[in-house]
Every structure is written in structure tokens, then in C-alpha cells.
Structure 1
Amino acid sequence: MTWLLVLAGGMLGAPLRYLTDRAVQARHATGFPWGTFTANMAGSVLLGFLTGAALSSHALLFLGTGLCGALTTYSTFSYETLALARGGAGLQAAANALGSVLAGLGAAYVGLTLAQAF
């Protein structure tokens, strides 16, 4: 049962990540990976909110592990950061790495704070 909840959430999160990435990236002419950054921040704030909300373990598996796990992407973030560095955009690579970690933690905190406020 557990893996079915994670699978179902992932089936929603993965296309949502892809569509978010494409929609955001289409609006930016730079080589910076704004689409992945946006998807990761959205997933971080949502996971923070879900963590602070009084949800059942089944809901957390579906929404937290499945949906947010597929919405966010460490592998694409890593790949795009390395691609920036290898392409001579070391400052953008460093900004992506540091910015993603700091903004992701901040987004999770904001989500957690919002959940506790409700």
C-alpha cells in the first residue's frame, strides 16, 4: 500500500515538475535554470507546509514523498549546476548551488510557519 501512495503522488509530481520547468524557462532568455529552481522552491515550501500540517501518514506518503519528491529534483539541479560551471558560467553555477540550498531551506521554513499559523 505504501509504495502505491508514493507512486500515485509521483505520477502527479513528475509531470508538474516538467510543466513548471518548461513554463518558467520559456519566460527567461538566460542560461540560468530558473525552471528547476522554481520547481524546487515550490516543492520545498509545499513540503514544509505538509510537514507542519496535521496530516495522516498516508497523506504524507502521497503528498510529501510522492508528489513533492517528484516535483523537486536534486539530480537535475546538480546536472544544471555542473553544466553552468563547465560552460564557463562559474558565478552562475555558484549562485545556483548556494541560492538553491538557502532558498530551499527558507521556503521549507516559510511553509512550516504557514502550516503552524493555520
Structure 2
Amino acid sequence: MTWVGLIGLSLFGGLGASARFVQDTFVKARVTSGLPWGTLSINVVGSFLLGLITGLAMFAGDASQWSVVLASGFCAGYTTFSTAMFDAATLARAGRWRAAAVDVIGTLVLSVGAAALGIWVAAL
């Protein structure tokens, strides 16, 4: 990777983290359910984007440094599986085991499905 790519990686990582903050704040202000919908929506959307970027690189036969920058920079800065697991642990610690299980299983199933959908869309 070139220096320009490394700078792009850093900038896109920051943009991804900023987008995550904005989306999480937006969702939390509008949804008062006991589940962490902001984090869940971030991970599902980010997984779709990663699948789409990866699929486009795969089917174009060109995994350029910019697809790596977008995937490893923006998507990695945007998604937050560590926060998702922390949210689930917080729910479990509060005795909300069912909500914790729904959060973990829902995040996994929906995120994998979104990534697969992104790859499928890229193949069209």
C-alpha cells in the first residue's frame, strides 16, 4: 500500500467512526426500546457495505488499494462488534438474558445476511 493509501485508510477510518457516532445518536434519540438498535443497525449496514465493496472487487477482478481503504478504513471504523458484545454483556448483567441472546443472535444472523446480500448485489 502506498503512503496515499495509508493516509486514505486513516481518513476513511475516521469518517467511518464519525458516521457510526451520528447514526447511533440518531437512532438512540428516536428508539427507546430496551435493545441497542443503533449498534445493531450500524453493524448490519456496515456488513452490507463490506459485502458490496468486497463483491465489487471480486467480480471486477481488481482488489485495488481503494477497495481495501474503503473496506478496512470506512467499514472497520463504522462497524462496532466490540460495542455490540458489550451491549449484550450489559443486558445479561442486568438479568435481561433473553434480550442479550436476541441481540447477539440477531446481530450475527442479520450481519452475515447483509454481507451476503451485498456480495449478491455486486454480482448483478
Category of TM-score, reference length = shorter chain: over 0.9
State the distance in 2 between where 1:31 and 1:4 align.
39
Q: Which runs of 5+ in 1 are unaligned?
A: none
Select the residue among 73, 82, 93 that pairs with 2:80: 73
Following superposition, the deviation at residue 56 of structure 1 comes to 4.2
Q: Return the match for 1:16 from 6, 14, 19.
A: 19
Corresponding residue of 2:99 = 92
Alignment partners' CA distance in 2, 1:60 and 1:88? 42
TM-score of the superposed pair, with normalisation by structure 2: 0.89
Aligned to 2:43: 40
- Taking structure 1 as the reference length, the TM-score comes to 0.93
Query: Which runs of 5 or more structure 2 residues have no equivalent in the other structure?
Result: none
Aligned residues: 117
Identity %, equivalent residues:
37
Larger radius of gyration: 2
Q: Match of 1:32, SS?
A: coil
Segments of 4+ moved more than 4 angstroms: none
